[in-house]
Structure 1
Amino acid sequence: MTTLVVCLDRTDDVGRKTGLRSPVVGWEAVRSLVTDVGLADPEDSGVNSLLETLRVAQDLRDENEEVVVAVVSGDRESMVSADRAVATQLDDLVADYDPDSAVVVIDSAEDERLVPIVESRVRVDSVDRVVVRQARDIESTYYLLKQFLADEELRQTVLVPIGLTLLVFPILATVVGPAEGAAAITTVIGIFLLYKGFNVDELLTRAAHQIRESLYSGQVSVVTYVVAAGLTLVGLFAGALGVSNLEDAPGVVIPAMQFAFDSIPWLAMAALTASAGRLLDEAIGDHPIRRSFLNLPFIVVSVALVVRGFSAYFLEQQRVIDPFIVPANEFGVLSNERFVVTAGERLALFVVTGIVVSLVGARIASYFSESQGDETELADGGEDGDAASGATPVPDADADLPSELTDGGPGTESSPADEPSDAASNGDSDAQTDAERTD
């Protein structure tokens, strides 16, 4: 099977720049033509077309196909004469090499008009359109647009929003006015861009998959997450309610502090509930509990205490809340008068308590991690009981003796002169065995 890999040049750019007459046939001839065209005009896209022709021919040769490489150019006088020149050259190639099929390589919309001429003379299996990424001409833009329109995902991402915008904007402009319609369209486009930019669709898909897996596996965290979501809503409502009760609060600092002061207990309970669910899942599972899950509840409480303390400090400074007062006889015989805690003392108390709670959590998490590590090592050592206990196996008394002595062969006879030494060696062996047993 012979395949003709032909590069088409309707305007004869190759002949005009190199002075060569077409057709140019053969691997080495086309390879030399690439150098000539590149030296004449390095910015010409025809260099890339010639290189693509050689690459396609090389791939077909690697598949054990008979390949004929050729470059066919037209005429510069007119389009009709150019097409007739290409047709004449193709007739000569078909008559000389009798190809069974052809692969056409082009680099412009002008050259694409020659494809029907090739199809009328030989079967065209493929049309390779070369698009140079650095090119700035209209022809390359045309091919880029065609590739863009051929991509289904890009069409749905770009063309669908533009089409909806063009359809909805006239309706909104008629109903609510041009300005309101443009604002609504801009808002929707902004939301869509943020949705795609932050990969919200992938996050939602991953979250749905995790929820489904959690429901099927019976994890406790599913219920605790629902409870945590409810507590979060309660906390947000409590914070908003506290802000709404403020009277003539200037700026945004005091409303923000009021919102944090009222909502942080509920938000802390929500975080504790969620972390407790994850901790129970870790405890029920086969793997050891990770240190981060043990330390998370204490971190939540510490952060809640610190935020509550700072928000209370600012609110007390602005006289939004009353100072903390310890009632009389609170300390028994130590005090019979009320004790007023100032804003600074309250802040210091909350901050110190938060730091202490975080340190306690870190110590508890470290203790449980070390305990689990010791249990894991003991469990691994139990499988190799002898190796873990450090016991030395007792050697066999006959293990190191020669085969003649153990088989009762000739080696069992000994001279009288050797009997004392044998007895001594036996004594040493018995002593060594007793010492090993004692160890």
Structure 2
Amino acid sequence: MKVLILAIDRDNDFGVKAGVNGPVIGREKCLDAAVKLSLADPEDSDANTLFAAIKLYDELKRSGEFEDVEVALITGHPSVGVKSDLELSRQLEEVLKVFPADGVIPVTDGAEDEQIFPIISSKVPIISSRRVVVKQSPGIETTWYIIVRYLKELLSDPEASKVFVGIPGMIVLLFGLAKLISLRYPASTQIVSSVVTGFIMLLVGGYFFVKGFKLRPIQSIAKMISRGFITFIAGLTGLIVIGVGAIKVYLTIESIAESMIGGIPSNELIALLIYINALNFYFILGLGIIALGKIIQGYLRRNFHLWYYVTALLMLPGFWIVIDVVTRYANPFIKISTTEIATKVLLVGVDLVISILIGLKLKERIKNWAIRVPSL
């Protein structure tokens, strides 16, 4: 029986650090590769894995249990996953062409390399396996050195230091300030604690949300300002109008409900319908300001999509009517006649048709205009 002792380097440390390209076949070549990696990075466990494979090769050679024994190294790719596994599979086929083994003994340094065992077993039976665990000094000095070393590496990485040092430091700082304020004003202890806790949750949650979705809010705002200052101002103004309108409606919801249904809403859903109906004006007004800013910016920059922004602005009255009718119709305390509904639907249809026709007409004219006049 021919047995292959196979050392596996899934992330190709041999290639990246020592310039050794796989596959490597034969004891002398494997020994040379292991020495090269040990010199390049004495702390890399892959070198120990290959030394262990060579040691196992020597033991099996001396024992004479098998007809023939060979040792080889296959290397993957730094991008661990499909790419590295395809490379390992290709190199294993090359090894088997040189040494057609009847069985293989994989030698690895952890569970990551063992993930390719199904690929190996699909080509040649696995008769055993060996995992190499590098021994560490149990002394306190060595443990302390390792801890300090990894802490230094952690602090040298700006992103990691923000998460593991910056955020905990900010939390401790804010709670310390809250404690000092509560000593000065004992009656405000609960308020200060709630404010600080909420502020911490807002900052930490916002940070992880931005990082998790890979958002770049500061860069996006800067890009928006540099590309279209008028659009930015109009957008900010529109959002302020919507936000202020939302606050005003919330604070005056009872008086609005009195005028609409003649009393206080009986449940939250009815109150929500009244709130949306009252907010409708501010919402459409804010969108109109945003669209108007787009139109002005598009006109100054000779933007071909100017017709699209004009069409959107013209459609806003129709949207206002739809929201108004739907929220009033869904409210059981408001009676709305069929004639009024039909009239509103007709107005919406007319608004949409006019908006689309004007938009299509503008599209053709602006297309020629944008070609004749160079962009600013």
TM-score (norm 2): 0.52
Question: Where does residue 134 of structure 1 map in the other structure?
Answer: 112
Question: Where does residue 94 of structure 2 map in the other structure?
Answer: none
Tell me how far apart the structure 2 counterparts of residues 162 and 303 of structure 1 sit (CA, whole Å). 47
Alpha-carbon shift at residue 52 of structure 1 (Å): 3.7
**1:269/1:163 CA distance change after superposition, 3 Å:** closer
Matched, 1:151 2:161: no
Contact 1:268–1:304 under 8 Å retained in 2:
yes
Tell me how far apart the structure 2 counterparts of residues 195 and 222 of structure 1 sit (CA, whole Å). 24
Contact 1:172–1:178 under 8 Å retained in 2:
no
Which moves more between the two structures, 343-352 or 357-366? 343-352
**Structure 2 counterparts to residues 239-258 of structure 1, below 5 A:** 239-245=249-255, 246=257, 247-258=263-274
**Bigger RCO of structures 1 and 2 (CA < 8 A, at least 6 apart):** 2
* AA partner of residue 368 (structure 1): L
**Structure 2 counterparts to residues 2-401 of structure 1, below 5 A:** 36=5, 38=7, 48=9, 52-53=13-14, 56-58=17-19, 69=32, 71=34, 102-107=39-44, 134=112, 148-166=154-172, 168-169=174-175, 175=182, 185=197, 188-189=200-201, 191-198=203-210, 202-215=216-229, 219=230, 221=231, 224-225=234-235, 227-245=237-255, 246=257, 247-315=263-331, 317-319=332-334, 342-373=336-367
Alpha-carbon shift at residue 346 of structure 1 (Å): 2.6
The percentage of counterpart residues that share the same residue type is 11
Tell me how far apart the structure 2 counterparts of residues 225 and 196 of structure 1 sit (CA, whole Å). 26
Alpha-carbon shift at residue 189 of structure 1 (Å): 3.5
Contact 2:307–2:366 under 8 Å retained in 1:
no
Alpha-carbon shift at residue 158 of structure 1 (Å): 2.8
* AA partner of residue 58 (structure 1): G
Alpha-carbon shift at residue 48 of structure 1 (Å): 3.9
Alpha-carbon shift at residue 182 of structure 1 (Å): 9.0
Contact 1:291–1:365 under 8 Å retained in 2:
yes
Alpha-carbon shift at residue 256 of structure 1 (Å): 1.6
Across the aligned residues of Structure 1 and Structure 2, the Cα RMSD in angstroms comes to 4.8
Contact 2:274–2:327 under 8 Å retained in 1:
yes
Deviations 1:188-232 (A, max 9, x none): 2464234432459612331133224544xxx4x455445534532
Any unmatched runs of 5+ in structure 1?
1-34, 39-46, 61-67, 73-100, 112-129, 324-341, 381-439
Alpha-carbon shift at residue 307 of structure 1 (Å): 0.3
Tell me how far apart the structure 2 counterparts of residues 290 and 139 of structure 1 sit (CA, whole Å). 69
Any unmatched runs of 5+ in structure 2?
22-30, 49-107, 114-130, 137-145, 183-187, 258-262
Deviations 1:315-337 (A, max 9, x none): 5x415xxx6xxxxxxxxxxxxxx
- What is the total number of aligned residue pairs between the two structures? 257
SS at match of 1:105: coil
**Structure 2 counterparts to residues 405-420 of structure 1, below 5 A:** none
Question: Where does residue 392 of structure 1 map in the other structure?
Answer: none
**1:191/1:252 CA distance change after superposition, 3 Å:** farther
- Report the structure number with the largest CA radius of gyration: 1
SS at match of 1:106: coil
* AA partner of residue 325 (structure 2): G
